[in-house]
Copies of this chain bind each other. A is one copy, B any other.
Amino acid sequence: MKILILGGDGYLGWPTAMNLSAHGHEVAVLDNYLRRKLATEEESGPLYDLPELAERCRLWQAHSGKEITSYIGDLCDWDFVAGVFQTFTPEAVVHYAEQPSAPYSMLRRSAATLTINNNLLATANTIFAVRAFCPDAHIVKLGTMGEYGTPNIDIEEGWLDVEHKGRKHKFLYPRQAGSLYHTTKVMDTDLLWFYVRMWDLRVTDLMQGPVYGMMTDENEGQPDLYPHFAYDEIFGTVLNRFVVQAVANYPLTVYGKGGQTRGYLNIKDTLNCIRLSVETPADAGELRIFNQFVETFSVNDLAGRVKSAGEQLGLDVEIKSIDNPRKEMEEHYYNPAHTGLLDLGLEPHFLTEEVLQGIFAVVLQHKDRISDDCIFRGVKWSRTG
């Protein structure tokens, strides 16, 4: 299948490209290096440096014998987008191409409006490009479990059957996100759902939880093929950050009570979820929604596991509750459904001590690169900007 990965330079975009390529698909990646630019501006160094996309494609070809094409440009620039879609005409589009950080979106006004403009226009242009150049193509969009927030009832998989005053209606599950970034993901879903209804698009919207790890089947023993790995407060995901903090002898930053519970998954599972979704497309006129995670943990659970795995390696790991810079519930009900991807055949990788120690091993190799200034700066949700 011809598959175009939007945001192909990212933490998940690049490993997804390699995975789909390894499985025999014809893959192209598109990126404008926005995340690299923002990370540089905010002094959020990655754990290790990585080549740019054209070079990564060359390395992948040398390693695997398979070709990935790269397009460098801005998804918000219609002329560029139209050119790529006319040249490549994908059968599936995997859309990761957004400003991906909740703390970044809360930094200041200009960061908030960049997030709104970029994320909404990237999604709109994707929709319009599919409509114009490959109307039967399947859009696989990365949403987030954060769209749902933490309601006091079970989170269903995308939809909610409501009975009210003796009548019934099936709604898109009501969404209430906890950051501006997550709110733009809610808006993306609104936008996709609208055009699915109007134009019979095929869309799968994946409500993904926080991802951890960097090792995949495709990059084993090939550090140049590793994904971008952020460990800083702004662009890093929580488990990856905790491992780096443990290695750096920086107390694990638990926000408030630490009862914040979310659904997590190994990066390998992300790749399998995407591939399963791509290979079994949504129907025309269907917005198919999967909750993409394999197990739930509280922040305290995660900190405890990282501490335990670190101590096995002889590290001295401290856990420290700090004033929560975010505005969120620190203890709450959380029971989200997640059967759709299992039904498609997903075989989960769970967070074992072995998996954690694998992440520790890579992080330890780059210990000298870790800067305490990146680890925590306390981006406050209450900030005016």
Contacts and interface: CB of A to CB of B under 8 A. Distances in A.
Interface in A148-181: 151-154, 160, 162-165, 167-169, 171-177, 180
A289 B163 CA distance: 22
A112 B124 contact: yes
A55 interface: no
Interface residues of A, number: 49
Nearest to A129: B109
A170 to B, nearest CB: 9
Given A109-B128, A121-B113, A186-B190, A174 B177 contact: no
Interface in A112-169: 112-113, 116-117, 120-121, 124-125, 128, 131-132, 151-154, 160, 162-165, 167-169
A181 to B, nearest CB: 10
Contacts of A109: 78, 128, 132
A62 interface: no
Contact of A167 (B124, B167, B190, B333): B333
Contact of A116 (B120, B152, B385): B120
Given A113-B124, A198-B327, A169 B151 contact: yes
A322 interface: no
A107 interface: no
Q: What is the total number of copies of this protein in its complex?
A: 2
A284 to B, nearest CB: 14
A199 interface: yes
A121 B119 CA distance: 13
Interface string A358-382: 0000000000000000000000011
Given A152-B168, A153-B162, A167-B333, A116 B112 contact: no
A19 interface: no
A331 to B, nearest CB: 16
A131 B384 contact: yes
Nearest to A327: B198
Given A151-B169, A190-B187, A121 B116 contact: yes
A154 B165 contact: yes
Contacts of A349: none
Given A124-B116, A190-B183, A164 B160 contact: yes
Contacts of A350: none
B152 A169 contact: yes
A193 interface: yes
A160 B186 contact: no
Interface string A43-54: 000000000000
A197 interface: yes
A373 to B, nearest CB: 26
Contacts of A164: 153-154, 160, 162
10 contacts: A109-B128, A112-B124, A113-B121, A152-B168, A153-B162, A153-B163, A154-B165, A162-B174, A171-B174, A177-B190
In the A-B complex, the 7 residue pairs with the closest CB atoms: A171-B174, A153-B164, A152-B169, A153-B167, A187-B187, A151-B169, A153-B169
Interface of A: 78, 109, 112-113, 116-117, 120-121, 124-125, 128, 131-132, 151-154, 160, 162-165, 167-169, 171-177, 180, 183, 186-187, 190-191, 193-194, 197-199, 327, 333, 381-382, 384-385
